[in-house]
Amino acid sequence: MGNLPQLDVKSLGERAKVIRNHIIRMLAKSGSGHPGSSLSTVDLLVALYYNKLRHNPQMPAWPDRDRFILSKGHACPALYAVLAERGYFEVSKLDTLRQFGSMLQGHPCMKTTPGIEISGGSLGQGLSVGLGIALAARLDKKDYRTYVMLGDGELEEGQIWESAMASSHFKMDNLCAIIDQNDLQIDGPIRDIMSPHPIPDKWNSFGWHTLEIDGHDYPSIMSAYNEAENTKGRPTVIIAKTVKGKGVSFMENQVDWHGKTPSKEEAERAFAELK
């Protein structure tokens, strides 16, 4: 039921371009949202939803599905685009992002959007919820896995470390955290705001199996997802080095594009680059 066809690296890259085009179009139309953080997550999400996650778009509530939680909920345009392309809802719905009454709110809403596991918005909560879901799987003797995507700026939230400690204590090897390390948050470089570095050392000290990868390289991403699945006795964290605004040259590594949407002219420039 959940064994969807897998894609090769070239096909994953082509899917990623489609997703990035959707993101630019959605945000230009809505006039509100977060392009930088959305674009940096795309390759991690494409690899997960096309080649790793056990899921069924025709049955979003399938009990044996793997779970994905977008803790950094402001990056939801990327997740919405992936869900639409995977068949959870019509692609045309993407044009309603952030409109009144739309199923696609500015942060994920499990009550309105098929494929969304938890409603998000307040940073820091996703890993705690993911731990609860992973514990439920253990209690119910289910083999589904739970993946949680965090922002690197989000690591400033204390609740992250409480759930990290508990996850290690309970040896939650069915739980995988993915850190989108694009090094920027709304006010500037994370090192200047409230540095979480050294990030790998911190997760290691909490007892997690820690991997560092290029978050835009598909072989590295898939290798990390596979290693996480095969690691037993403790949870895995994948620290993925990414580029904020990835794929659009004038947005890349520019903090101004954290929460600024493109004009019509800027969107056209982006589309030209993403052909």
What are the structure tokens assigned to 202, written together?
Answer: 């911190």
Specify the amino acid at residue 191: R
Q: Return the closest-CA partner of residue 255 out of 18, 34, 82, 61.
A: 34
The stretch 42-66 carries a mean pLDDT of: 97
Length of the chain, in residues = 275
- pLDDT tens sequence across 215-244: 999 999 999 999 999 999 999 999 999 999
DSSP designation for 154: G
| Percent of the chain whose pLDDT exceeds 70 | 98
250 — pLDDT class (breaks 50, 70, 90) = very high
What are the structure tokens assigned to 172, written together?
Answer: 């939650």
What are the structure tokens assigned to 5, written together?
Answer: 């066809």
- pLDDT tens sequence across 120-133: 889 999 999 999 99
The C-alpha angle with vertex 262 and arms to 258 and 263, in degrees rounded to 5, equals: 150
157 — pLDDT class (breaks 50, 70, 90) = very high
At the topology level of CATH, where does 9-273 sit? Rossmann fold (3.40.50)
Residue 3 pLDDT > 90:
no
The stretch 247-265 carries a mean pLDDT of: 97
Angstrom distances, CA of residue 125 to CA of 44, 72, 116, 178: 20, 9, 15, 14
The model's pTM is 0.96
Quote the pLDDT of residue 149.
Answer: 98
Quote the pLDDT of residue 120.
Answer: 87
Cα dihedral value 246, 204, 73, 53, nearest 10? 80
Q: Side-chain half-sphere of 134: how many Cα atoms within 13 Å?
A: 28
Angstrom distances, CA of residue 50 to CA of 18, 57, 144, 146, 196: 13, 12, 17, 16, 31
Residue 275 pLDDT > 90:
no
Specify the amino acid at residue 17: K
Is the peptide bond between 198 and the residue preceding it cis, with omega within 30 degrees of 0? yes
Other CB atoms within a 10 A radius of the CB of residue 117 amount to: 21
Residue 171 pLDDT > 80:
yes
Extents of the domains making up the chain: 9-273
Q: What are the φ and ψ backbone dihedral angles of 267, each rounded to 5 degrees?
A: -65, -40
6 — pLDDT class (breaks 50, 70, 90) = confident
Residues 6+ apart with CB under 8 A from 97: 26, 27, 29, 30, 33, 77, 80, 104, 106
How far apart, in whole angstroms, are the C-alpha atoms of residue 100 and residue 116?
19
Indicate the helix (H) or strand (E) that contains 142: none
